[in-house]
Amino acid sequence: MSGERVVVIGAGIGGLVSAALLSASGHDVTVVEKEVTVGGKARRVPVDGAQIDAGPTVFTLREVFEEIFRECGSELERCIATRRAHVIARHAWSDTERLDLFADPQRSEEAIGDFAGADAARSYRNFRTEARRIYDILNKSLLRRSKVGWPLPLMWRIGLWRVGDLAAIRPYESLWKVLGDHFADRRLQQLFARYSTYCGSSPFDAPATLMLIAHVEAQGVWLIEGGISALAEALRQLAERNGARFKMGESVARIEIGRSGVTGVVLLSGDRLEANAVICNADPAALASGRLGDAASCAVGGFAPKRRSLSAFVWLAHAETNGFPLTRHNVFFSPDYAREFSELKIGTQIVDPSVYVCAQDRDTRSAASIDGRERLQIIVNAAANGDTHQTTEEELDRCTQAMTRSLTRCGLRLETDMPHSLVTPRDFEKLFPSTGGALYGRDSHGWAASFLRQGARTRIPGLYCAGGSTHPGSGVPMAGLSGQLAARTLMADHASTRPLLPGATAGGMSMQSAKTESTA
C-alpha cells in the first residue's frame, strides 16, 4: 500500500463509504466499530422471531451510491437488489381523509386535485417547480461539495452573475410560512412541512430551503431487498474486497494527537492502531465532549443541547393490523401541528402526535398475502433529552396510548399487546453518546444552520468527520455524500503533502447481490 494508514471510527453509512473509497484508492484502512454489526443507525432488531429494520427506511438519490460503487470498481445493482416504489407515501388525517403521493408526479398532481381541488393541484405544480429550482441551485454548489460559508463563498460557487439564485433558496423564511403561501389547504401545508423532520427539525423554525427534500423524494424512492442494513453490508464487502479490515465489537478509548496531527488511536482493550489519518464516523458532539479523548476534543466546535435535532420514540413491532390499507411508508397527521412542535420545543411528551409507520412487508408482498403479523417500525418525534431524562414506565404507557389514539383516529388498528420493542431517547443516547438521543446532529433552524454543520476537515490535521451529523446533512444519501467528501478531502490533503505519490487504481471485482432472507 502506497497510501495513508487510515483508521475509520464507526461503521455507519458515512464511515463505510469512506472506508470503501479509501481502500479502493490504495490506502491501508482499518474500521473500528463498537457494535457487532455494521450500519450504525441502519440496524436490525429481532422481535418475535422477525428481523425488523430499526433505522432509516427511505432510500433516495440512488445515483449517489451508483457513483460510489463505480469509484470502488463495482456496480450497485450487482451488490444489492432494489426497485422503485410506485407510491412514495400514504398520508391520513382521519379515517376519511387520505392522500397518496406517487413516483409519477402527474399522478400526484391528479391525486391532490381530487383531494383538495384544482387550485391545490396548480399550487402543487408551482411548489414542485420551486423545490426543483432550490435543489438545482444547491446540489453541486453545496450538497456535493465541502462546507462553504455564507453568503460570498456560496455565491462564488453558484456564480456571481446569478444573484437571484441566492434569494431563490429562501434561507430567511420559515418552511411553514412559505408552504402557507403555496397551499391554502392546511393539510397540504402540513404534509410538505413534514420534510423538515427528515433532518430532525421544526417546520416553524427551519428555512424554506428544505423544500428541496420534496424534489429529492419526487425523483424516486427505492426499496432495497433486506432494507438499508443490506446496503451497509454491501459497503462492508466492497471495502473488504479492496483490503479494508474491520474490528467489530471494539471501542476507541482515545485518538492520539502528536505535534503534526493524528498519530493513531488506542482501543479500550489497550491495543494501539498507528494511523496517519482518522475519520470519525460519529456525531461531532462525541468528539467535542471528550468521548474520544481530551486531545481530540478541540477538533470541532461544540453546540448547546438546545440546538440538538429531534429524537424519537420507536416501536419495533410484529403485529396484526386492520382497518387501514397500509403501503410501505405511511404518515398519520395530528390535528394541531403547531401544538405538536411547541411541546417538542419545551421537552414534553406530545399529547396528540403525528405518527410514521413503515410497514416493511408491504410492496414486497401483496396485501392479500399478509395473513397474520407483519413487521412495523412506528415513529413518534421526541425531544433529544436522553442524557438528562429517564422516561418512566408511566410516561412510556402514555406515549404508547397517544400513538395508538392517533392511528385509531385515522382508521388503523393494531393488535392488543402486540410483540414489540420500544426504543427511547435514552436508548439512542446509549447507542450514540453525547447526543441526548438526537438522530440528525444539530437542528436545521435558522438561515445559518447549513453553514454551522461540521465539515469533513477538522481543526486537527489528519482528523476528519463523516456521517449524517456532518455536512451535507442527515439521511442515507447525505451520509453517503459525507463519507465521499471525507475520503476526497483526506486524499486531497495527502496529495498536497506528497506530490510524488503514485496514484492507485481501484480494482475491478464483482459481488453477489446482498440478500436478506425474509423472516416475516
Closest C-alpha to 92, from 325, 285, 286: 325
Question: Is residue 419 classed as helix, strand or coil in its secondary structure?
Answer: coil
Mean pLDDT of the chain: 90
pTM for the full model?
0.91
Task: Tell me the DSSP string of 141-161.
Answer: IIITS----TTHHHHHHH-TT
The pLDDT of 514-519, averaged and rounded, is: 37
pLDDT at 167: 63
pLDDT band of 160, cuts 50, 70, 90: very low
Instruction: Return d(Cα 491, Cα 220) in angstroms, integer.
Output: 32
pLDDT tens digits, residue range 500-511? 444 443 443 333
- In the structure grid, which three cell numbers stand for residue 214, read together? 420534496
The two beta strands, 277-280 and 5-9, are parallel
pLDDT band of 519, cuts 50, 70, 90: very low
Other C-beta atoms closer than 10 Å to the C-beta of 429 total: 21
Instruction: Return d(Cα 279, Cα 271) in angstroms, integer.
Output: 18
CATH 3.30.470.20 fits 5-44+52-82+226-302+444-497, yes or no: no
Only one residue has cell 444552520, namely 449
Number of H-type helices and E-type strands within the chain: 17, 21
The pLDDT of 240-266, averaged and rounded, is: 97
Helix (H) or strand (E) holding 342: helix 337-346
Residues 31/36/38/40 CA torsion (nearest 10 deg)? -100
Instruction: Return d(Cα 451, Cα 448) in angstroms, integer.
Output: 5
DSSP type of residue 378: E
CA atoms within 13 A of residue 7's CA, in its CB half-sphere: 23
pLDDT at 148: 59
- In the structure grid, which three cell numbers stand for residue 192, read together? 410538505
In this predicted structure, the answer to whether residue 98 has a pLDDT above a threshold of 80 is yes
The pLDDT of 447-457, averaged and rounded, is: 84
pLDDT at 515: 41
Delimit the CATH 3.50.50.60 region(s) of the chain. 5-44+52-82+226-302+444-497
Q: Residue type at 229?
A: S
Instruction: Return d(Cα 135, Cα 212) in angstroms, integer.
Output: 5
pLDDT band of 452, cuts 50, 70, 90: confident
Only one residue has cell 463519507, namely 483
The pLDDT of 350-370, averaged and rounded, is: 82
pLDDT at 448: 77
pLDDT band of 158, cuts 50, 70, 90: low
Instruction: Return d(Cα 200, Cα 453) in angstroms, integer.
Output: 14
- Residues above pLDDT 90, as percent of the chain: 81
DSSP type of residue 367: G
- In the structure grid, which three cell numbers stand for residue 29, read together? 484502512
pLDDT tens digits, residue range 15-46? 999 999 999 999 999 999 999 999 999 999 99
pLDDT tens digits, residue range 382-439? 999 999 999 999 999 999 999 999 999 999 999 999 999 999 999 999 999 999 999 9
The pLDDT of 232-247, averaged and rounded, is: 98
The pLDDT of 75-89, averaged and rounded, is: 95
pLDDT at 367: 55
pLDDT at 163: 54
The pLDDT of 252-257, averaged and rounded, is: 98
In this predicted structure, the answer to whether residue 281 has a pLDDT above a threshold of 70 is yes
The Cα angle at residue 53 between residues 48 and 57, in degrees rounded to 5: 150
pLDDT at 511: 39
Give Cα separations from 508 to 124, 238, 239, 241, 472 (angstroms): 45, 11, 12, 10, 29
Sign of the alpha-carbon torsion through 352, 356, 362, 366: positive
pLDDT tens digits, residue range 106-130? 999 999 999 999 999 999 999 999 9
Q: Is residue 273 within 8 Å of residue 267, measured between CB atoms?
A: yes
